[in-house]
Structure 1
Amino acid sequence: MNASPIDAPDFLPFRLDLVGQRVLWLRLDAAQREAAAFLDERALPPGPEGGWLPLSAWLRGAPTMPARPAHAIAHIGHCGSTLLSRVLDTWPDVHALREPLPLRSLADAWPTRGQADARVSAADAERLLQASWAAWSRPLPPAQRSMVKLTSSCNGLLEPLLDAFPGMRVVLLDMPLRPWLATLAKSPDSMLDAAHAAPERLRLLQARGVGEDLALHAMTLPEQCAMGWLAERLRFQALAESHPTRALRVDFEALLARPGEVLAEVAAHLALDAEGLPAALASRHWGRYSKAQDHGYTREDRAHDLALALQRHGADIAEGERWLDGMRRRHGVALD
């Protein structure tokens, strides 16, 4: 790669290597970005164009703060965020990016930034986060604004992002515990995925003065999942209270039940033209499996799958619900 990609919107920071102190930049066109459910190895085109750039060069030459920073979709995982992202991408001026890999690397490094065993200083971690978000805030023409869907493990970066980019807004997507546990239960990989996030979520609960008596090794898998749900609900509740005009809570069940009403609220929050609402509501994405667009998957299909999961995995789901009820009784946890 002969020229620096830092100022070229068609290049994206694609992979962050904190051990090697470098970042991989790749050229991805609009069609490749639109097709990608995840901006990681699964999105690599044949013969990708790009190359590695030292982090020091990126931080020295990082662009200034964008006039219109990317908005964000944050979520608890397995709750329709890919669908919402694809539907919002139907607005002609929106350029959507889904789960860029460097954001996950930064989220992993964030809790220990600046410590003696960390790969990045606290100051450089903040600069990397801001430089990454600035790069993702550059839409490809004719789009005029960017929308980034975070990986659920990156929710700890929401507060520093909101602090760094005053013009940024975020949609906080989740769902009630029972359908969420049923969604996880019908796919063992999904339940394990939620359990992998449990340590950070337990630390979040304990930082909020809840769950000092909890230990992951003493909790069943359904209990760990319910604990993660509680932690994220409390995180989203706090963000909505501290940023009432910039953070919007959205229930995925409500979005499916009342798509016109809820999507209109989301569009207004993100300052999207209301004239784009009919096309968004008519989008083919409502009837497709969002992570694999070749497969049909309607609201009726989802309802059938959840009913089957409740029947087959009712004991595990009830176990998670009992755990939450116990937390409410012991700790007086209040959820809106």
Structure 2
Amino acid sequence: MALTIDDLFVSPDHYLHSFDGDAARFVPMDRGAYHRSIFLDGRIVPAAEGEMRVPIAALPAAPPAPRRIGWIFHIAHCGSTLLARALDRPDANLVLREPLTLRQAAVSRQQRLFALATSTISKRYDPDLPTIVKANVPVNFLLPDLAALDPEAPAILLYLGLDDYLAAILRSDNHRTWLRNVTGQLTFHFGDTAALADAERAALLWLAQLRAFDAALRIMPNARALDAELFFATPAPVLEASARHLGVAMTAADAQAITQGPLFSTYSKNPDVAFDNSARLARKADIERALGDDLDQARRWIRANGVDALGILTTLDKAALIEG
């Protein structure tokens, strides 16, 4: 039977991977391919070779309204990949990690792309099981639009305190390049950041995302905040609470087994690399010693520009998914 345009909006097997000029790129997927794909950007691992390019103009002007999505929003490099992978249970839900179309919609601010992205990422194999989307940094600035689609959607807002965030975001040349790139892509929100030092850019990005989370808590009653350090320190109860909040079937014993298994003893973005919380803490201590001047510079920037930062952290703590 020939594939129709309507079919593209029904089955997750037809995954809208990205927008490329005037075309929408669909790649073949199955449940196993979603589980294998740690990210759904250029690192996607499709179910088969090949792609289908469909003119965006040929897709519905008003695509089907998105079904409910459970969200993981995060400020980057704070354990979101680990959390999303731990929640990925092939028999109990569908998890999409960083769909590229949603990021493209956030950066472009095109309503057409936003409608197509949100419609297609909400597809599911079983209508009774949740679809969970782990977004990425630019999508945090779409939070009002996403909340308008479904204010009651469950969401986790994953964040770090300033010093912990700086240690994560400034720890290598590659991370600093990412920082410059992402702040450059968000000039519609930040303006021109070219004159800022890396530490100041990092402070700016941290504060802007916390403000976005603070605003989201006012319009999304089922949003809960999660300090990543609590997740790292006590992963089993946090994982169990996260699963319960997002509607994923998981017992305390399940969570304990997952957090004591290989996922939590390897690097979440590269399972071939051994890594656990002890290694993370040792690395962070070394990084913080090396970042003395950067830490001071970022703190000064926050003192001058983020008078609301402490209040936001207090608000996030009051909206905590689980008590520390």
TM-score interval for Structure 1 and Structure 2 normalised by the shorter chain: 0.7 to 0.9
Q: Partners of 2:127 and 2:215 in 1: how far apart?
A: 36
1:163-191 deviations in Å (ceiling 9; x for gaps): 11345222111111111111122222212
Residue 288 of structure 1 corresponds to 266
1:57-83 deviations in Å (ceiling 9; x for gaps): 3225833543xx221111111111100
Worse-superposed segment, 44-53 or 131-140: 44-53
% identical aligned pairs: 26
Q: Partners of 2:244 and 2:167 in 1: how far apart?
A: 31
Residue 71 of structure 1 corresponds to 70
Deviation at 1:27, TM superposition (A): 0.7
Q: What is the Cα-based RMSD across aligned positions, in Å?
A: 2.7
Q: Partners of 2:244 and 2:219 in 1: how far apart?
A: 20
Structure 1 residues 75 and 50: CA distance shift in structure 2, 3 A: same
Aligned AA (1:175): L
Q: Partners of 2:178 and 2:78 in 1: how far apart?
A: 13
Alignment pair present for 1:15 and 2:14: no
Residue 236 of structure 2 corresponds to 260
Preserved CA contact (<8 Å) 2:143 2:212:
no
Aligned AA (1:230): L
Residue 85 of structure 2 corresponds to 86
Aligned AA (1:39): L
Worse-superposed segment, 172-181 or 311-320: 311-320
Aligned AA (1:40): D
Structure 1 residues 26 and 167: CA distance shift in structure 2, 3 A: farther
Preserved CA contact (<8 Å) 1:75 1:172:
yes
Residue 255 of structure 2 corresponds to 277
Preserved CA contact (<8 Å) 2:30 2:47:
no
Deviation at 1:12, TM superposition (A): 0.6
TM-score (normalizing by structure 2): 0.84
Deviation at 1:246, TM superposition (A): 1.9
| Pairs aligned (count) | 308
Preserved CA contact (<8 Å) 1:88 1:280:
no
Deviation at 1:36, TM superposition (A): 1.7
Worse-superposed segment, 225-234 or 135-144: 135-144
TM-score (normalizing by structure 1): 0.82
Worse-superposed segment, 183-192 or 260-269: 260-269
Aligned AA (1:160): D
Preserved CA contact (<8 Å) 2:31 2:90:
no
Where in structure 2 are the equivalents of 1:23-34 lying within 5 Å? 23-34=24-35
Residue 310 of structure 1 corresponds to 288
Preserved CA contact (<8 Å) 2:12 2:30:
no
Alignment pair present for 1:100 and 2:99: yes
1:6-49 deviations in Å (ceiling 9; x for gaps): 133211101113x32x2111111222221222212222549623
Residue 319 of structure 1 corresponds to 297
Q: Partners of 1:158 and 1:200 in 2: how far apart?
A: 17
Aligned AA (1:301): A
Preserved CA contact (<8 Å) 2:74 2:80:
yes
Structure 1 residues 197 and 313: CA distance shift in structure 2, 3 A: same
Q: Partners of 2:31 and 2:41 in 1: how far apart?
A: 16
Aligned AA (2:98): E
Shift >4 Å, 4+ stretches? 44-47, 199-206
Q: Partners of 1:29 and 1:178 in 2: how far apart?
A: 40
Preserved CA contact (<8 Å) 1:24 1:52:
yes
Ranges in structure 2 where 5+ consecutive residues have no aligned partner: 315-324
Where in structure 2 are the equivalents of 1:21-170 lying within 5 Å? 22-45=23-46, 48-60=49-61, 62-66=63-67, 69-90=68-89, 92-110=91-109, 113=110, 125=111, 128-140=113-125, 144-170=129-155
Q: Partners of 1:287 and 1:12 in 2: how far apart?
A: 31
Residue 122 of structure 1 corresponds to none
Structure 1 residues 26 and 61: CA distance shift in structure 2, 3 A: farther
Q: Partners of 1:2 and 1:93 in 2: how far apart?
A: 30
Q: Partners of 1:147 and 1:193 in 2: how far apart?
A: 25
